[in-house]
Structure 1
Amino acid sequence: MRKPHLLPLSIHKIALLAAVLIAASLAASCAQLPLSSLIGLRNFDLETTDPARLRIAVRHPDWIRVPAEGAVMQIEQRSKASGALMMSERIVFRHSVAGEDLASLGAERRHGSVIRVFRIAPRDVDRMRAVQKAIRERSQDKTTGVEGRLSVAVTGCRLGAMPEGAVKVSTYLAASELDGFVPLTRDFDLRAAMIEAGAPHDDPIAPCPQTRERN
């Protein structure tokens, strides 16, 4: 019997070039960033964006559970010349219950789905600012060629039996430079993505661990 565990839902990858150009692709799928989002993301700059206003939102079926600190941002920088890792930082995002974070996503609601918004955990805001400072300093150093990658992963598991058919998930980004939430992916099939990533065909999304009932 397969041991229940949380499976990572890889949401998107953003390549950070010299000018922090944005290009997004879904891991293990062929989902594409909407053209309108590419235009909207032109102003997004990881080096200067306000960490306190950075948000990630996920629309997923209501039978998937995402824990309160289920979203994590991984920031990496490597030397272009050698490929050596120069920076690797893990920033935790926490579920936001603020009404204003959901207000602009009203049009994205779908029957049978849940929208959850995540913001940088308060304990990680200052560390994010330190990471931004380090990125800026390396960008200003013309003698050191660096390339970076920003990835966001959201951890989830299923409640009850898994329905047949596609498991549609959408993702969004909000930042101080953006006008509300910008879609990163729309209705990509999580079932197909997990199978392609190596999960079992008959049960690609693991069940949530059972909690022991209290007397």
Structure 2
Amino acid sequence: MLAACSHVPVSTMWALRNFDAASVDPALLRAAVRLPESFEPQKGGVTLKIGWWRDGDENAKHEMVFALRETTASEDVAPLAGERKSGTRIYAYRVDPADYAAIRARQKEFLEEKARDPGKTHGSFGVGADACRRGDFPEGPLLTTTYLRTQALGPYLTVLKNLDMREAATKEKPLDALVPPCEKFANKAQPLTAVNR
């Protein structure tokens, strides 16, 4: 899961100040990831993670993680056209309809819990992307950007902007393990041709 608060634009924080993970319609959620051209998302590797917790009860955080499903629908692809950059590819995703019921059940559970014990709650969300690479790593920064759309026909908001995978690598998980060769995976996602051309 790519996560680094310093890479979240202030405009996104402001736009999502009233975002409520407990009531958002999963059918409307869309996500996208922009990767270096030689990278590809692993199949099932792009995920949506939603969490919430109460003040003073951070250790009892509720979390849901769902593998997202690739989408090439024009209404999902077209809003990403302005995010094209040379040397990159963009992939768009939606929640798998098979997961709607599970998400809505968890949302209902949270709302019932909140009604029993009102108090200040906090939410979090993230778009994760496990990628593989074709060939050697290119020179320079390996920038990854993730996006989230929470409303029908709304804009995609930048969740993490230009996170350098070289900087994300650690001693425990070096770059080769963070972005392994694609040959290890039989199935890879396809880029959005309408966005990349």
TM-score (normalizing by structure 1): 0.73
Q: How many residues align?
A: 186
Post-superposition offset of 1:123 = 0.7
Match of 1:179 among 134, 150, 154: 154
C-alpha separation between the residues in 2 aligned to 1:154 and 1:211? 15
Cα shift at 1:60 = 0.6
Contact 2:34-2:89 within 8 A present in 1 as well: yes
CA drift of 1:159 comes to 0.9
Q: CA deviation at 1:61?
A: 0.9
Q: State whether residues 158 and 205 of structure 1, in contact with CA within 8 Å, keep that contact through their aligned partners in structure 2.
A: yes
Distance in 1 (CA, whole Å) between partners of 2:180 and 2:70 is: 21
Work out which of the residue numbers 62, 68, 85 in structure 1 matches 2:37. 62
- Report the CA distance between 1:198 and its aligned residue: 3.1
Match in the other structure for 1:140: 115
Counterpart Cα distance in 2 of 1:155 and 1:204: 8
Q: Tell me which moved more, 62-71 or 121-130.
A: 62-71
Identity of aligned residues (%): 30
Residues 170-203 of structure 1, C-alpha deviations (whole Å, 9 max, x = no match) = 11110127831011222121121123x6333677
- The answer to whether the 8 Å contact 2:148/2:156 transfers is yes
- In 2, the alpha carbon distance for the partners of 1:177 and 1:38 equals 19
Greater fraction helix: 2
Q: Distance in 1 between matches of 2:14 and 2:97?
A: 30
SS at match of 2:137: coil
Do 1:77 and 1:85's aligned partners in 2 also have CA atoms closer than 8 Å?
no
2:173 pairs with 199, 202, 211, which one? Answer: 199
Query: 1:141-180 maps to which residues of 2 (within 5 A)?
Result: 141-142=116-117, 149-176=124-151, 179-180=154-155
1:110 aligns with 2:81: no
SS in 2 for 1:137: helix
1:110-139 Cα distance to aligned partner (Å, 9 max, x none) = 111111111111110111111111121122
Q: Which deviates further from its counterpart, 176-185 or 106-115?
A: 176-185
Deviates more, 1:77-86 or 1:39-48: 77-86
**Alignment RMSD, CA only?**
2.8
- 3-state SS, counterpart of residue 44 of structure 1: coil
- Segments of 5+ residues of structure 2 without an aligned counterpart are 187-197
- Which protein has the larger Cα radius of gyration, Structure 1 or Structure 2? 1
